[in-house]
Amino acid sequence: MTGQHASTPADPDRELRALLTRPHPHVSPLDPVPNGPPSRPTTTDTTSTDPTPRLQALAASLGQMLGHDDHETLDHTERVATLAARMAEHLGFPAARRDALVWGARMHDIGKLAVPGDVLAKRGPLTPDEWRAMRGHVEAGLAIAESLGCLPRTALLVLAQHHERWDGRGYPARLHGEQICLEARIFTLCDVWDALTQARPYKAAWTAPQAGAELERLAGQAFDPALVPAFLAVVTADI
């Protein structure tokens, strides 16, 4: 792991809310956009509020609703949550920090509930308006997650930053490097790994070596280069 953390902003909650109003480009995690001005840094946060069992049930229900229209099903959500937990344990996170990361993983695409079903289900190229709607799932998800009022702040940051890239070409805020919180950098690896190694209606599953090579290729671009070897150690431990 990197061992470094961004400086603490004066008002973290204001920082988080600013993500909701910031203009954002239209890209997927693996599709960089042209470089833009860097955004203000955010920080990691190890404080945690235990979500209640009712919240767990709500998250599961939302995930099942999402699975009706999206290629990414509840199974995907559970797999990335499991991967995130394994990474947290590998990196020696205390329980509260691990749980916050896992909650971010569970809720990461909840904003797709606000994306029209025909856009989510579309298999061909998206129009600019459709991409705008699709990329809006980050802000929509953050609004939903914030409204629950009981998720750890780090979980909200994972949700807000899960499409940011190490090289600053992600969205919505074009954060780069350690401006992206560590948990979000970890989660992005989990999310992309699962997308690569699972079959989708439009592609076959990649093998672990193929997916590993892709993560290594994108180290320093999409991903924190210091995290890629740790992640690959985790996912290849039981192969």
Q: Residues in the site for Fe ion, rule: CB under 5 A?
A: 109, 191
- Rounded least distance, CB 14 to Fe ion, Å: 23
Distance, in Å, from the CA atom of 142 to the CA atom of 156, rounded to the nearest integer, reads 7
∠ CA 64-70-87, rounded to 5° = 75
- Rounded least distance, CB 193 to Fe ion, Å: 10
- Rounded least distance, CB 7 to Fe ion, Å: 27
Between 99 and 139, CB nearer to Fe ion: 139
- Rounded least distance, CB 209 to Fe ion, Å: 22
**Could you give the residue numbers annotated as active site?**
112
- Rounded least distance, CB 11 to Fe ion, Å: 26
For residue 108, what are the CA distances in angstroms to 94, 103, 220? 21, 8, 22
Closest CA to 102 of 87, 114, 122: 87
Contacts of 237 (CB under 8 A, 6+ apart): none
User: Phi and psi dihedrals of 200, rounded to 5?
Assistant: -125, 165
Between 160 and 232, CB nearer to Fe ion: 160
Between 98 and 162, CB nearer to Fe ion: 162
Distance, in Å, from the CA atom of 110 to the CA atom of 106, rounded to the nearest integer, reads 8
What DSSP state is assigned to residue 223?
B
Distance, in Å, from the CA atom of 22 to the CA atom of 156, rounded to the nearest integer, reads 16
Answer yes or no: are the C-beta atoms of 171 and 27 closer than 8 Å: yes
Retrieve residue 8's tokens.
């603490």
Distance, in Å, from the CA atom of 190 to the CA atom of 224, rounded to the nearest integer, reads 12
